[in-house]
Amino acid sequence: MATYHSTRSRIEALSAKQAIRRGIAPDGGLYVSDELGERRIDLAGLASKGYLELAREVLGLLLPDYSADAIAACVDEAYGDTFASPEVTPLVKLAGESTDAQALPSYVLELWHGPTSAFKDVALQMLPRLMARTNAADEGAADKIMIVTATSGDTGKAALAGFADAPGCGITVFYPEGKVSRVQELQMSTQEGANVSVCAVRGNFDDAQSAVKGIFADRELAARLAASGVQLSSANSINVGRLVPQVVYYFAAYAQLLREGAVEAGDAVEFCVPTGNFGDILAGYYAKRLGLPVAKLIVASDKNNVLFDFLTTGAYDRERPFYTTTSPSMDILISSNLERMLYYLADGDCELVARLMDELAGGRYTVPADLLARIQEVFGCGWADEDEVAAAIKDCWERHGYLIDPHTACGYHALQQVAAAPDARARVVLSTASPYKFPRAVASSLGLFCPPDDFACMQVLEKATGTCAPTQLSELREKPVLHDAVVDIDGMGAFVEAASAKL
Ligand SMILES: *Cc1c(COP(=O)(O)O)cnc(C)c1O
C-alpha cells in the first residue's frame, strides 16, 4: 500500500506509516497520495455519527496500511477522554443579529477543548499514537525518533503534550524568542517529561522553520544520529499524520449541522479558517475531496497577508515585511502546506510544483493563470489588520455575547468581508484557540483595563464576561520553569544533536 510520494517527484513510493515516520521527503517535498478522494465518506449516515466513529472512518480511508484495530485504538487514546467536550469539537451557533449580509446562519466550530487549549491538539493527540504504531522496519534502521519542531506558538505546546514520555520518541521544540504570548511561552517552558527539550531562538518563526528544514536535509547530521540509533522526524503540519486527523472535524461539524436541522444532506456549507501554514484549511480541502459538500473555503489571514495576495494575484512573494501581531500562530510568510494544495490543483504536476518551490527559495513565484482560476474556484480569502482584529473581538462579544481569540477574530472578520457563495446554506468559522490563551489582546480589545501580568488579565476577563479560563492555563502561573535555553539560528542543529544524545 505504497501510495504516498513527494509533491516534487514520484521516484519513491511510501506507505502512510513510512510517510508519517519520515515527516518530510528527502527532496524537500511533502507527502501526498494520488488516491485522495477515490473512496468517499457516505453523507447519508453522517447525522448519526459521533466524533470517534467519524475519526475511525476518515483515518481508515486516508491511512490504508493501518489496521482497523490500530486506528480504533489510536482514536480511543487520542479523543476518548482528553477533550473537555463530549463532541470533541462542538459547533456553536452565533446567537442574535446575523453578521452576514445574506443572513445565513453562522456557526463557530470550537477546536480548542483539548489539553493545551488550541486546535493543534486535535492532530497532536493523534500523531504520537500513529507514530507509535509504525516501527523501525517501516523506515530505515533507527529505533528511536527525535521529533524536531519549530513553532509560532501553539504547535510547540500541543506537540510537547502529545509526545511527552511517548515510548521510543524524543521531542525538541524551538520557538521565536519574544514572539509568542506569555501564556504560550510558559506552556512550553514548564513542560515536564524525560524526553522533552525546549529552546528559544533568536529570530522569527520563518527563520526557525527554515532552519528546521535545513536540519532535516543535513545528511551528515543524519548519519551521526543514525549511528546512535536516532532518526529525525517532524510534528509540524507538513507531516501527513497531522493533516489527516484535522479532516475529521469538518465532517463532525457537518454532522452537527445535520442534527440541528440547519442543513440537509448534500447542502453546501462554507468554512472560514484562520490560516498560517495552510494545514487546517488544507484539511478542509481534503474533506471536500472525500465528498463533503463544501461551498467555499475562505482563507483568513492576519496582517501577514501573503496568502491573500497570492489568492488574489497568483503571485506568491515572501520578500515582504514580517509583522509580529496579536495572532502569532498566523505570523507566517512561508506557508508550507500550500505546496500540497498546488500539487492537487495542478492535477499532480510534480515538475511544476518542484519548479515553483525552487523559485520560492529565491523569493517569489507566480502560478499559471489557469491554475490560479482553479484555485480561486475552491478558495476565497480575507484578512484583518490588528485594529480590525480588535474590532472583531469586540463586535462578536457585543453582538453575540461570544468571546473569541485574535486568531478566530481574523476568521470572524473575513467572514464579514467575503460574500457567501450562492449555494452556501450555512457558514462556519473555525475557532482555533481559547480566548484565554491571549488574555491581554482579548481584554484590551473589549476596552478592559489590563494589568501587566497576563494571569491578572485572565481574571479581568473572567469577571467582565462571566466566562471561565481553562484551569490548564490559569494554573501555569504556579508551575516551575524547566527550560530556559536560547540559541541563535545556526546553533539549532547542535541543540538537536545534544538533545538526541540524551534519548
Ligand atoms: C496554528 C494555528 C493557526 C494556523 O493554522 P495552520 O494550520 O498553520 O494554518 C491558527 N490559529 C491558531 C490558534 C493556531 O495555533
Record the cell numbers describing residue 497, joined without a space: 544533536
Q: How far is the CA of 145 from the centre of ligand 1 (A)?
A: 25
- How high is the mean pLDDT of the chain? 94
Give the pLDDT confidence score for residue 142 in this predicted structure.
64
pLDDT in the model for residue 26: 85
Contact by Cβ (8 Å): 330, 407 = yes
302 has pLDDT over 70 = yes
Ligand 1 pocket, mutate which of 112, 180, 275 (most atoms under 8 A from CB): 275
In 433-484, DSSP assigns E strands to: none
**pLDDT value of residue 288:** 98
Q: What is residue 154's predicted lDDT score, i.e. its pLDDT? A: 84
Q: Coil, strand, or helix at residue 146?
A: strand
* Identity at 292, one-letter amino acid code: L
User: Cα of 332 to ligand 1 centre, how many Å?
Assistant: 10
Q: Is the pLDDT of residue 348 over 70?
A: yes
pLDDT at 344 over 60: yes
The reported pLDDT for the residue numbered 178 is 92
DSSP state string for 404-444: --HHHHHHHHHHHHSPPPTTEEEEEEEE-B-GGGSHHHHHH
Averaged pLDDT for residues 62-87: 96
Q: What pLDDT is attached to residue 364?
A: 97
Tell me the per-residue pLDDT of 16-44, one tens digit each, with 9 for 90 and over: 999 998 888 989 999 999 999 999 999 98
Over the stretch 361-394, which tens digit does the pLDDT of each residue have?
Answer: 999 999 999 999 999 999 999 999 999 999 999 9
pLDDT band at 104 (very low <50, low <70, confident <90, very high): confident
CA distance 325 to 229: 41
- What's residue 130's pLDDT? 94
- Three cell numbers, residue 9: 517527484
d(CA 503, CA 500) in angstroms, rounded, equals 5
Q: Residue 318 pLDDT > 70, yes or no?
A: yes
What is the mean predicted confidence (pLDDT) over 140-169?
87
Average pLDDT over residues 248-272: 97
pLDDT for res 102: 63
pLDDT score at 135: 75
For residue range 442-451, list pLDDT tens digits in order.
Answer: 999 999 999 9
Active site residues: 120
Task: Give the model's pLDDT for residue 29.
Answer: 95
Q: What percent of the chain has pLDDT over 70?
A: 97
May I ask the CATH architecture of the domain 91-117+241-435?
A: 3-Layer(aba) Sandwich (3.40)
Residue nearest to atom 8 of ligand 1 (CA): 277
Domain boundaries, the chain: 91-117+241-435
245 vs 257: CA distance, rounded Å: 20
Which of 188, 243, 280, 339, when mutated, tests ligand 1's pocket best, judged by the most ligand atoms within 8 Å of its CB?
A: 280
Task: Give the pocket of ligand 1 (CB within 6 Å).
Answer: 118, 120, 154, 237, 274-280, 329-330, 407, 432-433
Please say if the pLDDT value at position 98 is more than 80.
Answer: no
